[in-house]
Chains A and B, each alone.
Chain A
């Protein structure tokens, strides 16, 4: 299986990434080099500008692909509380991404229901991480 790009980030208020997961299926080569890691982060970070531009354009939480950089695409999903889900990928099906976001949102809501959760606290729940990864596996396996 070839190495793909699939990074999921939840960005809280003031551009604080509160959850980060590299969902790509790795080959045997192991981890990526630093440069690619940084590139992905930079692209995701830059996509926030595009999200800001587009989030008030329509009523949908799912914004679709908001930004592109070379062959990388960033899909975004904005919750009512301005929490942004960003998925960096290399051209996944938009509908699949939409479904993925919807399911992650379900799981995220459970995290939010924790009375100790604030829009600035990091999501450290292992269960959440597990769930997101399993969702990614189910949606983006093929």
Chain B
């Protein structure tokens, strides 16, 4: 480090009004020290820029009497400015003038492991110290000493300070050690300064310094000075000058020692002396020093320095740019925190409190300026102006902009007259920096550009010029370089800069950098600048310029070292823009699955149960469908990838230049943001291998428009990933290309659209991806059981289902979803018994799995949705659905899987045999539409490797296997009718012993022989049906069971076999098909029509099951079991009375009953090939069309099915003994009654009761009067019974049956019955008919009232009364 003998500069960068208080200390690394270690040691030193005098006191040995009168021991500070060797080596020409420009301290830094022995190190340090002749205090810090070094005798090494090894106490111990050492350093510095003060005298002053002799500092002696000089003798002048300079130097030293009050005194004396001896430079300098002393005094008094030290702890932290920005905006005064550490919002706020400081300083500096102008001491003028500008920027922030602008304009103009080139440049640079601090960024850019131009023209070293050029692109340094940064200048990448808007200006700055970098031979900078131009300013460049830049890039790439070839920042085109990270294919997508075994069944049932809703859109169902989010972990809606599986990102790539680009390697680059459950240390440890990209190479022709490219990679760790960009290798150089902002990428405009943030890198927001734990992989396919329908006919082609297996390869590649499209043909309503084959082809065991059908509507079509919500009317009318003329009617199928079988098979280990789970597939098709239908269902298999026991939730996968079926017509319902039917009841015991199906069968067996007549067919007699409803009050029938007979309702369905095969058809209770369900197996195994009679000689139990040849019509019937009427009956609240029930004002009652009937009964068919035993049985179930049912339901049937709350039927009690004796009491055929009552017309028959007992004339008949009460209060019944000739039924009843007549004998009058809520009460009487004929017994004057009400309160006719017809034989 040669000390140049002739100084080449006056100005120093970063000079402020606080600089006079800063002791310059050079930090010298001794020996080879690794940069990181050196930075660490430097930080230990530079932390102590301010040293509190109070703390210093214990280290200070008062060897001599202090020369300072006002030394502020309590609240004063010493300030240090640490310089790197390079900066300290450039000796300032102003050192004779300003003591603070001298390097007064030296701190050497030795790193133990790097040094051979301590003696050599110390000798090196001493050699370095000799370079700095002005230095008064030296220290050599020795870090990490070895044991040998520690033991060595160091008595001859005065300035050596040993630091403890790091292993013993870590960095904290080093820091506290450094603090002590630095206080000691400051104390010895103070002692040295005091010694200077005590020994200072005029004799030590040289009047012929560089400042006096050089013509570069000031102009020649003016006339006034010449006159003044003549007034005094030269000797006197010399003496005064000496005294003046001594005082100035003493002032400087006082200020450095931290005593501004002493300094002010010395400066005042110096000013006075200088005035008389016209020593202009010293005069001006003393005035400026006085201003500084005043400021520092204010600092101490106002406590401003306290704020600096209190924030110095924060200083030690790496300063975040955002924090710096906030601080800068805070009153705009963060500005001039120099390397000294003066500054900061609190510091300036404290100074602002000092009244009159600014005015005083302004006045002093104006004086100084006036003095300096007299001899035009330009460097000092410029320096003071800059320092003053910095001061007011700090004090007033951006509010001082106007004044600072003017000041700086003046400074720049003044600067043109500076003699040294270096000074000129420093002046411009300083001006630029102050402009940046005050917020005039554009002027700063102009000044920096000017500086670059000047630097180039003055042939300065290109490297220095390059630094200036780079600065123009960077944001302004709101803070001067920190000490540590100054010591170790960090090389920052060429930033995108602050000039987003005026592209030509930006281009100019980049071109400046490029040109200087080429000259300086900085190939990396050449690469960066050329890349930036091509990347962002392609639109502004001519093709020839682009080609030139490409050549520049190639040349730079050839010259760069291999380390430089790995560029960190963005490089030249291609431009990249993120489109989106692609989720895995449907079958591989990780999703949250609920692996509850019962869940899927519940869902399947739920669609049925929800059919009560009158709304097409069911909000609850919609939520249920959505509550399985496809994305399990992405809290911000990001997509998920699976750890260890290929992930794909869609990227757009573009080459805006006219040069073809050959990309040798393009890989995706991600940043791993860690995993919430992982400790930060683990995250650091596993930082290495989180992503394995799959590289691609490509060639981009000139001006390639935005082209989509799929880039892949494999995430290797669980956690959040951010896709940050790509890693591009071209021309042998590799760099990280972040996403280009969208507006630049598309080159739509030179700047982003309104409200678009220019700082937002393109697509960052959507680039977040969560990576979940490895998941198992399962292959599933539908396996069609042998029972599959494969029919050949004119319309139905044999269509064996295609099996598409999902191989691991096809899954891993980006092929279509791995599902098998299965198509087959079936008859309508057919229940298909298939299998799903599942095999684990992954590496993890499947712990939980469920099978369900996809409830989400993939084909929103009118008819289909309505089927789902239960409105079958519209579902069965294909004309309502769109495009029904061209397309087959689409129905939604249901699926039932054997969950128990599946659950028994898990866990499914990898590479194990395929398991088969039985499936039942069926569609709830209504048996009325004759056209072909299409059915579809998506069988969904969800599986996971682990399950959260608490919530039964897991991250797993879902395979969806769509199944398409073509349904051919099977049965078409033509009409539905209901009949009243009485059957001889079983004794209660018998009934209990028999299963419901048997009971029904036996009832039907009786029915087959019983007389019955179709009372109404809605399709045939619509008019009559309407009239029936009008006088429905008369149609009162009984539906109850007593010991004798049971009055039931029979449903009769007329259907046509539309298929080509013989079908067995029957009507039965509805059973939801489910594999391995006993109820369903019972249905499937229900007896054949040709089954033999039972051994006890009863009629075949399954007589209701009928064989129907193709295209034939059949009528099947079923007893609607009235004993269970509550299941399809209506609650009393919905049933205000028998009369009201069938009233046209309440039509919904019919619909409700019809709907419930449709839900309770289904039409079944079965097809068996008797000749080919290998052909399996086919079975189908068809719901009844609801509108046919409701058309068939007339008032009578309705009353039968839904008995009104109050009723009083009459019935005949078959006395056991009577039955045995004669058997006449058996129920007679209706035809017989009709035949006997020859006057009974058809019209009457259609209305009246069709059943009656037949008795012998003269035999007693037990008649039972029963009152039933379904209301919720106790009721009192009052009625009488009358009898009249049944053949004259059109007349009115003739009164109470209280006297014996020619026809009958008996007496029932004024019967009183009190019936509890929900109960029955009965009374028996005996009648005897003497003459054959038809008689009618009927209750008259029937009243019912709540038991606690008076009789007169109750109106008549609120009770349903059922007449009883009796056939009396001769």
Contacts and interface: CB of A to CB of B under 8 A. Distances in A.
Contacts of A42: 445-446, 449, 505, 508
Contacts of A53: 401-402, 405
Interface string A25-46: 0000000001101100111011
Contacts of A120: 749, 751, 753-754
Interface string A109-124: 0000000001010100
A34 to B, nearest CB: 8
B751 A49 contact: no
Given A45-B446, A46-B443, A38 B504 contact: yes
Q: Which of A15, A16, A42, A120 has the most CB of B within 10 A?
A: A42
Given A14-B751, A16-B750, A120-B754, A41 B405 contact: no
B620 interface: no
A7 to B, nearest CB: 11
Given A50-B405, A53-B402, A53-B405, A45 B505 contact: yes
Interface in B475-508: 500-502, 504-505, 508
A5 to B, nearest CB: 16
B750 A45 contact: no
A137 B990 CA distance: 120
A24 interface: no
A122 B539 CA distance: 14
Interface string B446-458: 1001000100000
Contacts of B449: 38, 42
A68 B440 CA distance: 15
B442 interface: yes
B446 A118 contact: no
Interface residues of B, number: 25
B441 interface: yes
B511 to A, nearest CB: 8
Nearest to A120: B754
A118 B754 contact: yes
Q: Which of B445, B508, B749 has the most CB of A within 10 A?
A: B508
Given A41-B508, A43-B446, A49 B502 contact: no
Interface string A123-140: 000000000000000000
A14 B508 CA distance: 19
B518 to A, nearest CB: 15
Contacts of B453: 35
A48 interface: yes
A65 B312 CA distance: 45
A68 B449 CA distance: 16
A69 B405 contact: no
A78 B92 CA distance: 47
A91 interface: no
B508 A49 contact: no
Contact of B751 (A16, A34, A37, A46): A16
Contacts of A69: 446
Interface string B720-762: 0000000000000000000000000000011101100000000
A92 to B, nearest CB: 21
Nearest to A38: B508
Contacts of A47: 442
Contacts of A35: 453
Nearest to A14: B501
A45 B749 CA distance: 20
Contacts of A48: 442
A49 B432 CA distance: 13
Contacts of B501: 14-16
A69 B751 CA distance: 28
Contact of A46 (B402, B442, B500, B753): B442
A45 B402 contact: no
A53 B443 CA distance: 12
Contacts of A49: 405, 435, 440-443
Contacts of B500: 14
A17 B502 contact: yes
Given A14-B751, A49-B405, A53-B401, A41 B505 contact: yes
A50 B441 CA distance: 11
A45 B444 CA distance: 10
B419 to A, nearest CB: 20
B650 to A, nearest CB: 30
Interface in A71-124: 118, 120, 122
A16 B743 CA distance: 15
B753 to A, nearest CB: 8
B79 to A, nearest CB: 33
Interface string B370-397: 0000000000000000000000000000
A48 B442 CA distance: 7
Contacts of B443: 46, 49-50
B445 A45 contact: yes
Contacts of B511: 34, 38
B519 to A, nearest CB: 15
A141 to B, nearest CB: 27
A38 B450 CA distance: 11
Q: Which of A38, A43, A118, A122 has the most CB of B within 10 A?
A: A38
A8 B45 CA distance: 54
A21 B369 CA distance: 44
Interface in B742-784: 749-751, 753-754
Contacts of A43: 446
B1096 to A, nearest CB: 97
A16 B504 contact: no
A89 B504 CA distance: 19
A47 B435 CA distance: 13
Q: Which of A38, A41, A46 has the most CB of B within 10 A?
A: A46
Nearest to A50: B405
A45 B502 contact: yes
Contacts of A15: 442, 501-502
Contacts of B502: 15-17, 41, 45
A38 B509 CA distance: 9
Contacts of B749: 120, 122
Contacts of A38: 449, 504-505, 508, 511
Q: Which of A38, A49, A69, A122 has the most CB of B within 10 A?
A: A49
Q: Which of B401, B445, B504, B753 has the most CB of A within 10 A?
A: B504
Nearest to A41: B504
A120 B442 CA distance: 20
Nearest to A20: B504
A48 B445 CA distance: 12
B445 A46 contact: yes
Interface string A48-78: 1110010000000000000011000000000
A37 to B, nearest CB: 8
A79 B548 CA distance: 41
Contacts of A34: 511
A45 B442 contact: yes
23 contacts: A14-B751, A15-B442, A15-B501, A15-B502, A16-B501, A16-B750, A17-B502, A17-B504, A35-B453, A38-B449, A38-B504, A38-B505, A41-B505, A41-B508, A42-B505, A49-B435, A49-B441, A49-B443, A50-B405, A50-B443, A53-B402, A68-B409, A69-B446
Given A38-B504, A46-B443, A49-B442, 6 more contacts: A45-B502, A47-B442, A49-B440, A53-B401, A120-B751, A122-B749
Q: Which 5 A-B pairs have the closest CB atoms?
A: A46-B446, A15-B501, A38-B508, A49-B440, A41-B504
Interface of B: 401-402, 405, 409, 435, 440-443, 445-446, 449, 453, 500-502, 504-505, 508, 511, 749-751, 753-754
